[in-house]
Amino acid sequence: MPEKVRRWWRSRGRHRGLRYWLVLRGAPILVGFSVLYVANGIILGWRTAYEVCIGIVSPAATGVPVLAWFLSIIGWLLVPGLAGAVAGYVVTTMTTERRTKPIERLFSTDEE
């Protein structure tokens, strides 16, 4: 098994761009969020966990507020941040690939 892990780690360079980010950065974050959400779902109830995650219910109004606060913070900061990061990365990549002239040349004041 360690050989498979070693080969996987060395082959991560084959991914480019968004796929690299999703596999090596996004997946661990998603796993952590999923574990926290499932723990809250089991302890607080699935509906309460969902409502705490999207901000309908205050974490202080739950049976285990410490665990609910973590889910609330993750729900309000991490999830929109990840969605914005992915969207920004995709837009930047698409505009960079379509640009035919260097950006410095577009904004230069010199007459050619």
Domain boundaries, the chain: 19-95
* pLDDT tens for each residue of 77-110: 887 887 888 888 888 877 777 766 666 776 776 6
Going from the C-alpha of 98 to that of each of 22, 35, 43, 59, 91, the distances in angstroms are 23, 39, 50, 46, 11
pTM of the shown model: 0.65
Q: What is the pLDDT of residue 15?
A: 67
Going from the C-alpha of 37 to that of each of 29, 40, 46, 95, 96, the distances in angstroms are 12, 5, 9, 36, 37
* pLDDT tens for each residue of 37-67: 999 999 999 999 999 998 899 999 998 999 9
Using pLDDT thresholds of 50, 70 and 90, give the confidence band for residue 112: low
Distance CA 106, CA 98 (A): 14
